[in-house]
Chains A and B, each alone.
Chain A
Amino acid sequence: MDDLQLLRGMRSDVGSAPQATLARGRKQLLSRIDAGTGGGMPDGGSRRRRTVTRRVLLASAAAAVLVGGIVVADVVAPAGKPGATAEAAEVLNNAAAAAIKASDPVVKPGQYLKVDTRAVYSHQVSRSNGTTVAWLATQDSQLYVPADKSGEWVWNRTPRVPTTFFGQEAKAEYQNQEAFREKNPDPREPRLDGIFRGRAGAFYDSPPQIMGTPLLEAIRTLPRDPRKLLDLIYEKNGDKGQTPESQALTTIADSLRTGVIPADLRAAMYKAAALIPGVVVADKQATLDGRKGIALGIHWAEGKIRQDIIIDPGTGLMIGERMVSLAALDGIPANTAFGWTAVKTSVVDSAP
């Protein structure tokens, strides 16, 4: 008998709920329903939904495991000048203009928009001796979106491989985990690589979402007015762990890295980013996955983390996004891109 079988047997003699108990609970519920209360809990499920959204996003990169803090004062834009710094706003507004000018590639019937994504995830394992070890793993994927976006999408994900270990202990921990998993295969463990197919991008039981809205609907209906778009982003995000500003830029990064946001909405997102207080030009010569662009970032977690989006100023395309540690963070050294996604799009004639 293995550990799980033993555990399943433990306290399995606990009986089912007495009918009277269930009836009483039902009555309580109905009287609450009748009372017509509908207010949400303060911390509600919004945070949970947010995490889920991030996870299910097509090329979800490093889901940060850190809880954000308050943005330090020196990264907030000077009073009376709402929005990003003038320099960052200029880059973003120029990128928006370039995005509209360099129109999207045309996908003819029978062809596919191919989105090549390289995603780097961080794994952090905290151990009972109080230490945390961390490593980065990379996963490449290709998403094929048919000309008729309501048709079948194809998503090819290659296995996730560890690419950077922060120290020998991290490597040993990873090897331990792998050895354990090999010895204890788990039939319920989901497949993370291989070819996935789904109508309108519904690879699991539902379509991908951005900002809590199914992707295709979001592309159709999100406001193209930057102020309205940003307000909607703030509203949808609600009160999340990060600051509202850093969360807003993260939402924009999450949306853009799907690779399927059309030029007009992309432009609106850049302009919306230009309205976010605290957005700065983080690096004029940023390199991500071998491509160069300008990194625009915002600090959070008391200035320990910066979320960047990296834009090719010439084409207005987003090269990718990254999360950078500015101080050592639970096993991750300072000044490390500990989660990033690089995105490339092209038009191809066939899908696997």
Chain B
Amino acid sequence: MNTDRDIIRRSRDRPAEFAALYDRHASVIYRYAARRAGDFVADDVTSETFLVAFECLDSFDERREDARPWLFGIATNLLRRHHRAEARLLKAAARSAPREAGADSTEGIAAQVDAAAAMAKLAKCLKAMPAIDRDTLLLYAWADLSYEGIADAMGVPVGTVRSRLNRARRILRTGLGPEPLDETENEHGRLAAAPRDA
């Protein structure tokens, strides 16, 4: 067995073993950070995440085998320092929208235009939502953590993760309207009518 936990345990006595954790997870941390705040920030956040992790080995919960929630939690904290870079990216993405899918779009490019418009709306929603909700949502959608993993990463109970995710997703769906996004279009009006802040 060579779980993350094993590596961390061994590295208490033989610190050099810790490099194995870097080899295993540095690339996913990098990609997560790059998606959120760009390559330049990702460079910094990735190396810093592992330095911080190494310096607070005790903060790793030994009941866990997987170190990813712990590492993503550290990376998410570090990303806070770079919120301006993230905001710039989201702002640019929100602006890059072509005009709303207009009447002049031909059939062929209409879908692309729609997709780009949706991305712009997504970026706008992400930018507007509270940081804790954005962190929760992106740990879920981009870091692919489970609810428990996010709870560990953010140091909150699972129930809190659940309500933050619900809230964030409702902000997205409200912002993505009015086009129906799934099969249950007849219900869509109900959701859009729900309070944005709920």
A residues with CB within 8 A of B: 1-4, 6-12, 14-17, 21-22, 24-26, 28-30, 32-33, 36-41, 44-49, 51-52, 54-56, 60, 63, 65, 121, 123, 125, 127-129, 173, 176-177, 179-181, 183-184, 186, 188-190, 192, 204-207, 209
Contact = CB atoms under 8 A, between A and B. Distances in A.
Interface string B131-161: 0000001001110001110011001111110
A205 B169 contact: no
B56 A3 contact: no
B73 A48 contact: yes
Given A8-B141, A30-B16, A188-B146, A22 B26 contact: yes
B156 A51 contact: yes
Given A28-B51, A33-B16, A47-B155, A10 B119 contact: yes
B27 interface: yes
A60 to B, nearest CB: 8
A176 B195 contact: yes
A28 B47 contact: yes
A179 B70 CA distance: 32
A3 B147 CA distance: 18
Contacts, number: 184
A12 B93 CA distance: 13
A128 B43 contact: no
27 contacts: A6-B118, A7-B142, A7-B172, A14-B35, A15-B31, A21-B43, A21-B46, A25-B47, A28-B47, A28-B51, A30-B16, A32-B55, A33-B16, A39-B55, A40-B59, A41-B55, A41-B56, A44-B56, A46-B59, A55-B158, A56-B63, A65-B160, A176-B194, A180-B170, A180-B191, A183-B184, A204-B148
Contacts of B35: 11-12, 14
